[in-house]
Amino acid sequence: MGNFRSYDETTDPGSDAILLVVINPTTTPQTKKCQVINLGALRALSNLASVAINADMDPGSDNAIDLGNGSKMFKDIYLYQMLLKERSAPSTPASGLNSLYSNTSGILHFLNDNGDDFSLGIYPDILISAPGIRPRSDNGCGAMESYETSTYKVIYDGLPFDKDSDEFGQCQIPLPRDYNSGTMQFKFYWWCKSGIGSASETVQFAIQGLSIGDNESLDQDWGTAQVISDTWQADEKMHITGWTPAMTLAGTPADQEFAKFQIYRDVSEDNLGGDAYLSAVLGKFTRT
């Protein structure tokens, strides 16, 4: 008949119980109230080591049944060639198994079975290297220079920004299709040659932008610049600034429009005693 659980007279197992008469030839017949426990799927399966499911599982109603809830959640979910992983990457990617997981910061990642880890976070990157930045015709930064280290002959490209006056460089990109028309933030990668910096000196870079749509004028004003200051640490060492405050592009920014960026060194707010060489700019924006 199946598994059942017995209760004594002081316990009410509920309305789904049945009466069972136990007859023993040597004793007086006894009546017990019992609850059948295998008439349907149980909500609690903690008493089972494993459950083999050999048929399709379909919800009783379309778009109405949840798997877990806000307070009781599943951990790792294994699907065909896919693992949904909680809050950490699998320690060893399994062959033929791709993983989708969120890291400890809540950023979504995709990990393939080769170990390649791709961020799917809300902040994709905008990459701008020194060769993509052009000095402006007036008050422009210096032309790009290459600097080779003495021991290992590592070559760095950089645009020199002077200490005596504000100097400008510009670059351009089409805005990505998943850009949400919001603000952007940027950080700068810079260095200086030997004999330039000293303790407590700083460099301040600024960036402003403009979004140009179809059939709009090429000659438009820039948006408000955002700045970031960075303290000199040592000559011939890479310096990476923090993120600027959020910058708004002028115009009516939208995905797939054409964006211009103007970068400059604000020497009225810094005191590095020589050229600051800019090698790259990294930007981030919010996805739709």
Entry field: residues in the chain: 288
Which CATH architecture is the domain 126-287 placed in?
Answer: Sandwich (2.60)
What is the per-residue pLDDT for 88? 65
Please, what is the Cα angle at 161 between 126 and 170, to 5 degrees?
Answer: 40
pTM of the predicted model as reported, rounded to 2 decimal places = 0.65
Let me know: does 230 contact 273? Beta carbons within 8 Å: no
Structural domain spans, the chain:
4-36, 77-119, 126-287
The amino acid at 217: S
Decide the pairing of beta strands 17-22 and 30-36.
Answer: antiparallel
Encode pLDDT of 229-281 as tens digits: 999 999 999 999 999 999 999 999 999 999 999 999 999 999 999 999 999 99
Report the distance separating Cα 33 and Cα 59, nearest Å: 32
Write out residues in the chain with pLDDT < 70, as ranges: 1-51, 70, 80-96, 104-107, 119, 121, 288
